Amino acid sequence: MKQPVSPPRSGSEKERCIRFERSGQVEQARRLLSGLEGMEVGPAAHGLTVRYNLADYTLEGIEKALLSQGFNLETNLFSKIRRSLIYFCEETQLRNMRMPERLIKKSNEIYVKAWEHHPHGDRDDTPLELREDK
């Protein structure tokens, strides 16, 4: 009996569905991917559900490895668009994970000081004696 893949636990843990053109390749791909450390593999309609940490794998890398081994992935327009979007999102998230964290407190002080010196309409430079109604 196949075990279901457990739900994701953090933002860097991804759960993706990989679909194949030929259903006969699903079991071969499951055996191949199950052997990878840190990857969980489960069943899905016409394919597999894979769970991995973005620090270890990307969907693009997994699918390129499968293609190099002779697997035929689903190639309809929706699949191509979905893949491209996931590739872009994972690449962006990886790039953001590698960037050093900004000092939020310090950058906030810059904006506060700029606001204090910016004429933003909450000051009235009219002398007090001219503002008072008599």
Q: With helix as H, strand as E and coil as C, how does 95-131 read?
A: HHHHCCCCCHHHHHHHHHHHHHHCCCCCCCCCCHHHH
**Is 81 inside a domain boundary?**
yes
Query: 64-103 pLDDT, tens per residue?
Result: 999 999 999 999 999 999 999 999 999 999 998 887 766 5
Name 24's Cβ contacts closer than 8 Å, sequence gap at least 6. none
In a domain, 1, yes or no: no
Total domain count, the chain: 1
pTM of the model: 0.67
| Domain carrying residue 57 | 13-98
In 27-96, beta strands by DSSP E: 40-44, 47-53
71 three-state secondary structure: coil
Residue 120 lies in a domain: no
Q: In this structure, is residue 119 part of a structural domain? A: no
Confidence of residue 1 (pLDDT cuts 50, 70, 90): very low
**110 found inside a domain:** no
**Is residue 11 very low, low, confident or very high in pLDDT (cuts 50, 70, 90)?**
confident
Residue 124 domain-assigned?
no
Say if 52 falls within a structural domain.
Answer: yes
Question: Does 107 reside within a domain?
Answer: no
